[in-house]
């Protein structure tokens, strides 16, 4: 398992900016791009790089807190 697998990530369309936004609030604000599939792959890579920086600098990893919304029926 990769370090980033613990963190919720998603890509969404921003109607105002007319661009896709990739988000992972527990680790970073986000990135943007034109292709949602490529953007998700880039988001995962960036998150792994950030988390690896935490590890190599001896800092504790951020606690995963953001979770997908659950269907409450």
Residue 31 has pLDDT above 80, yes or no: yes
Q: What is the pLDDT of residue 6?
A: 94
Question: What tokens were used for 23?
Answer: 């988000």
pLDDT value for 67: 81
Mean pLDDT of 64-68: 86
Q: Which three-class secondary structure state does DSSP give residue 28?
A: strand
Domain 3-56: state its class: alpha beta
Q: pLDDT value at position 68?
A: 72
Look at residue 72 and tell me whether its pLDDT is greater than 90: no
pLDDT at residue number 7: 96
* Average pLDDT taken over every residue of the chain: 93
Exposure string for 12-27, b = 16+ CB within 10 A, e = fewer: eeeeeeeebbbbbebb
């Amino acid at each position: 398992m990769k370090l980033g697998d613990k963190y919720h990530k998603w890509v969404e369309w921003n109607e105002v900016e007319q661009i896709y936004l990739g988000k992972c609030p527990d680790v970073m604000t986000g990135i943007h791009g034109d292709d949602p599939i490529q953007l998700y792959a880039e988001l995962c890579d960036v998150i792994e790089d950030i988390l690896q920086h935490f590890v190599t600098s001896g800092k504790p990893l951020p606690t995963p807190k953001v979770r997908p919304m659950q269907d409450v029926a």
